Chains A and B, each alone.
Chain A
Amino acid sequence: MRAVWTLAIKDLRLLVRDRVSLFWVLAFPLLLALFFGSMFGGDEGERAAMKVVAFDESGGAAQAFLARLGESDAIEIDTAPSLQEARDRVRRGERVAFVHVRPDFSDGSFAMFGRPADARAPVALGVDPARTAERGLLQGLVTQALFSGMTESLGDPSRMLDQTRKVRAQLADAPELAPQRRRSLETLMDALDQVSRSNDPSEPASEDAGGAVPMGEALVESVPVDRDRSGKPRSPYEVTFPSSIVWGLMGCATAFATTLVRERRAGTMFRLRVSPLSLAHVLAGKGLACMLAGLGASAVLLAIGVIALGVRVVDPLLLGLSLVAASACFCGLMMVMSVLGRTESAVAGGSWVVMMPLAMIGGGMIPLIAMPPWLLTASNASPFKWAIFAIEGAVWRDLTLAEVLPSLLVLLAIAVGLFALGVTILRRREG
């Protein structure tokens, strides 16, 4: 055991002095955690607002709509003197999108109900094609601003009745409208009229109306978000750090996989083989070093996450167990990768070929919580998934030991299986 310890300490010392390995073990995972963590955006308020330019042809009818749009934290809005100018600002990348309010816009937008089917929408949205990620959000925000116009009208009976009257007039003016559509619109207007009357304090309330609530408020209730509620990541860093820890373990495994061939090339393997140590000692030393390095790297990454970025650990004991199992699992992978080639570059290349797909399907790149169901099923084949799940279980999922146990057992089974496989191949090779 002492000899194994001596070997492990030597390997750890070599690792610490090898800048390239250190990069993969610590710096790269940390960069990943920080990069993805900041990309998914921490607090809403911290995210830079999207700059949007508006061109308004409604002659003032859209003022309330544009003001509502600008109220959103996510949007910063200004106006352009012409449609061409608005479009150019987006083309030049100065704005994310332009909002074109067309002349036929009328707030509340009930007018749209009576519009002929081929009429243009009252509002056009042009989004920079490079900003696909924001397109959906922008469309949502614009629609929301339009709708809250409507809900405001719903809450104001006189405006509402006025709107429905306008729509009825338009319906009468549109003989080309299909009878079925006409009927359904008329039914809708009837219903809206009734809602408005029931809200109107000047009209006698029907018996069951009870205390009328303004529509807009009834639709969405705002509740305080309990930030410490367990079972949910409190910040994106709680999602990115567990996976970055697993990247660190992977860095360790790749680094140690190459040390066996490196020792053979440097001739130190020869010395070890003619010493009183057995091959078992040598391999156990490698395994122990890999495991300790993995735990050390995890501890460093986690400490940075906890101290600098407010990552919580809901169950430190479970986290310890998870990290031990995950490190062991990657030790097993290391053993198998170390026999992938006879030169350092062959082993390093082979390791990446093995690791990358495992990382990709196992949540190393797309977080498990963001995975589509089919990928989540596929991820079961990757030790990455089990390791991340076990670590997340202790970091934010707040799982019990019983819930994490299957993952731990899978990790340990992979560890034992792969380690044995690697050792068998090495034994045969070294003679």
Chain B
Amino acid sequence: MAILGGAMLEARDLRKSFGELRAVDGVSFDIERAESFGLLGPNGAGKSTTISMLVGALLPDSGTVRLDGDRSPSAPATRREIGVAPQDLAIYEELSAEENLAFFGRIYGLRGRRLAERVSWGLELAGLSGRRKDRAETFSGGMKRRLNLACAAVHEPRLLLCDEPTVGVDPQSRNHIFESIEALRADGCTLLYTTHYMEEAERLCERVAIMDHGRILALGSVPELIAEHGGAATVEVELAEAPPSTAVLPGPLDGLTLRVQTEDPLPAVESLGGQGLAIKRLRIDRPDLERVFLNLTGRSLRD
């Protein structure tokens, strides 16, 4: 693949309707080489539909996708560089873990020793080395999900698209998947990751696009998004006794609880301490992506 300048993936004004429903309604973004990019949005936001258009599995009503310079996503040579872990499991239940990996490796052109190496790598990634010969239908949901991801990465793609790879996965498997993805990232793989868990986006993605109703509402790094749309932090102080009447409170008092909205929470806490207030409990809520989403849409990410 020629090393060209420009983005690894370029989406311009993608639109897709299903009948009356505008599933994707003018989505544009770039993903730089070796970047990890997140699409964060609630159910039905249009994340999966966007991914399908990005990889050429679904024809957009309008808009363009360009990969690695100016190549179309449906050219075989481009596709060889892409891996997709679909949201709906896409493995052969009647084949073993090993056979699934080998089959997907082969259709991407891997053969012989290289194939064998990649298959072991995939089994390792999926944590299924001990069950390589077992059919996928005998695996738990989390194991299948891990195999689903490994099948997408077995051919060493330069761009990996993961569509909610952690749904229905226990915390331990989820952690395993995060580590695997971080390992792929370390090898220079570009990542597009969709999720409706803000912690995942915060942990894995350098930049995040917040999506709702087929549109991107905000796009930037996590600190940028929080700074721009998160609003102030909240300092919540529970007092042990009523404050002396001389005290100058920075916010309204509700019984013995004091709430302060501030961009900069630490100085605010210091000044409260300086006034000699008897503090029983102190809580600082910094804004997060959840808050960003709430501020942008008036709804929370998950109901």
Contacts and interface: CB of A to CB of B under 8 A. Distances in A.
**Max chain B Cβ within 10 angstroms of own Cβ: one of A266, A273, A275:** A275
A276 interface: yes
A271 B108 contact: no
A13 interface: yes
A431 interface: yes
A277 B59 CA distance: 17
Contact of B90 (A6, A268, A276, A277): A268
**Closest CB pairs A-B (n = 3):** A267-B90, A276-B76, A6-B106
Given A3-B107, A7-B107, A431-B59, A274 B84 contact: yes
A360 to B, nearest CB: 33
Contact of A270 (B80, B82, B86): B86
A395 to B, nearest CB: 34
Interface string A1-44: 00100110010011001100000000000000000000000000
A271 B104 contact: yes
B76 A266 contact: no
Given A7-B107, A14-B92, A274-B79, 16 more contacts: A13-B94, A17-B135, A266-B91, A266-B93, A268-B91, A268-B92, A270-B90, A271-B90, A271-B104, A272-B107, A274-B57, A274-B82, A275-B108, A276-B80, A276-B108, A278-B76
B57 A10 contact: no
A7 B80 CA distance: 17
Interface string B56-87: 11010000000000000000110110101010
Contacts of A274: 55-57, 79, 82, 84
A276 B107 contact: yes
Contacts of A6: 103, 106-107
5 contacts: A3-B106, A6-B103, A268-B91, A274-B55, A274-B57
Contacts of A272: 107
Contacts of B59: 431
Nearest to B99: A13
A239 B88 CA distance: 49
Contacts of A277: 76, 107
Contact of A273 (B57, B82, B108): B57
Contacts of B89: 266-267
A394 to B, nearest CB: 35
Interface residues of A, number: 21
B62 to A, nearest CB: 16
B109 interface: yes
Contact of B109 (A7, A10, A273, A276): A276
Interface in A256-293: 266-268, 270-278
Contact of B86 (A17, A267, A275, A276): A267
Given A266-B90, A266-B92, A276-B76, A271 B109 contact: no
Q: How large is the interface on B (under 10, 10 to 19, 20 to 34, 35 or more residues)?
A: 20 to 34
B200 to A, nearest CB: 22
A351 to B, nearest CB: 20
A270 B104 CA distance: 12
B143 interface: no
B151 interface: yes
A186 to B, nearest CB: 85
B80 to A, nearest CB: 5
Interface in B203-246: none
A276 B74 CA distance: 8
Interface in A310-330: none
Given A267-B86, A271-B86, A431-B59, A276 B79 contact: yes
Nearest to A269: B90
A270 B90 CA distance: 8
Interface string A164-196: 000000000000000000000000000000000
B61 to A, nearest CB: 13
Contacts of B57: 270, 273-274
B101 to A, nearest CB: 12
B94 A17 contact: yes
B79 A10 contact: no
B95 interface: yes
Contacts of B109: 276
A10 B101 CA distance: 12
Interface in A371-429: none
A205 B108 CA distance: 98
Nearest to B79: A276
Contacts of B92: 10, 14, 266, 268
A431 B74 CA distance: 12
Nearest to B82: A274
A17 B94 CA distance: 7
A271 B103 CA distance: 11
A406 B303 CA distance: 68
Nearest to A275: B107
B153 to A, nearest CB: 12
B77 A276 contact: yes
Given A3-B107, A13-B99, A266-B90, A271 B84 contact: yes
Contacts of B135: 17
B176 to A, nearest CB: 22
